[in-house]
Amino acid sequence: MSVAIRAARVEDVDDMRTLINEYARDDRMLERSRDFLLEHVRDFLVAEDERGFLGCCALAVLTPDLAEIRSLAVQPETAGRGIGRALVRACVAEARRLGLRRVFALTLVPDFFQKCGFVITSLGRLPEKSASECPVCPKRFACDEHAMLLHLDGTIPEPLSAGEPVGYTRLFLGVEPR
Ligand SMILES: CC(C)(COP(=O)(O)OP(=O)(O)OC[C@H]1O[C@@H](n2cnc3c(N)ncnc32)[C@H](O)[C@@H]1OP(=O)(O)O)[C@@H](O)C(=O)NCCC(=O)NCCS
């Protein structure tokens, strides 16, 4: 079966919502409403094969320099076939096309993003995200996500210092995520 990555269409929104919210129920990613997905459908790519929808991923541009990979989800029965990496690669290619310099993801699966070439960093080094969106995120009191960063010019982001807090809750609220 050959896997294709393409821009999402409105007819994909229900598949995207079902998959994302299945993982959200297990607290593995943020829930997304149908209205949100429709409004942001132009940010999304989907993976499909001859049998249909396999996964999705969004690239959200935050500043002229920085974009975020969001809502990456692959159907559990097709995990491990390289579909997640193909979606991330396509988002990175789109970020390059747009002229961005950095791409990051907030994630509970840092090892997966490391395999995609990202380097672990701290949310404290991404104020474009932590100052604007994190303070109103429903998970701000329970955030222990890792920030993973890729520089598109090939330079390596500065490594995390020993003991440096990674998630929003510890970093900005000074408490343990609950
Ligand atoms: C994480 C996820 C997107 C990975 O998709 P996938 O299609 O299974 O991943 P791939 O097959 O492309 O894997 C690429 C590499 O990452 C590794 N990898 C995949 N998932 C991993 C995980 N959870 N932890 C560590 N490594 C992982 C693979 O072993 C592979 O390594 P290799 O290059 O040595 O073979 C998928 O499991 C998923 O949808 N998870 C639930 C939702 C989620 O956590 N999304 C991320 C939100 S930011």
* Segment-wise mean pLDDT, segments of 10 residues, the chain, 178 residues: 95 98 95 97 98 98 97 97 98 98 96 97 89 89 91 93 86 87
pTM of the model: 0.96
Residue nearest (by alpha carbon) to ligand 1 atom 21 = 112
With tokens 């598109």, the residue in question is 152
- Which CATH number covers residue 84? 3.40.630.30
Specify the pLDDT at position 151.
98
- d(Cα 83, Cα 125) in Å, to the nearest integer? 29
With the most atoms of ligand 1 within 8 angstroms of its CB, the residue from 56, 69, 115 to mutate is: 115
Is ligand 1 within 6 A of the CB of residue 81? Answer: yes
Report the alpha-carbon distance of residue 77 to residue 64 in Å, rounded.
37
- Of 99, 122, 157, which residue constitutes the final position of a domain? 99
Domain tally, the chain = 2
Task: List Cα–Cα distances, 173 to 30, 136, 148, 168, 177, in angstroms.
Answer: 20, 13, 21, 7, 9
56 CA to centre of ligand 1 in angstroms: 13
Q: What is the reported pLDDT for 105?
A: 97
What pLDDT, on a 0 to 100 scale, did the predictor assign at position 73? Answer: 98
Q: What is the pLDDT of residue 82?
A: 97
State residue 161's pLDDT score.
Answer: 86
Does 55 share its domain with 118? no
Alpha carbon of residue 102 to chain centroid: 13
H helices within 26-166, ranges in order?
34-39, 83-98, 110-115, 127-130
Rounded-to-integer distance, Cα 98 and Cα 92, Å: 10
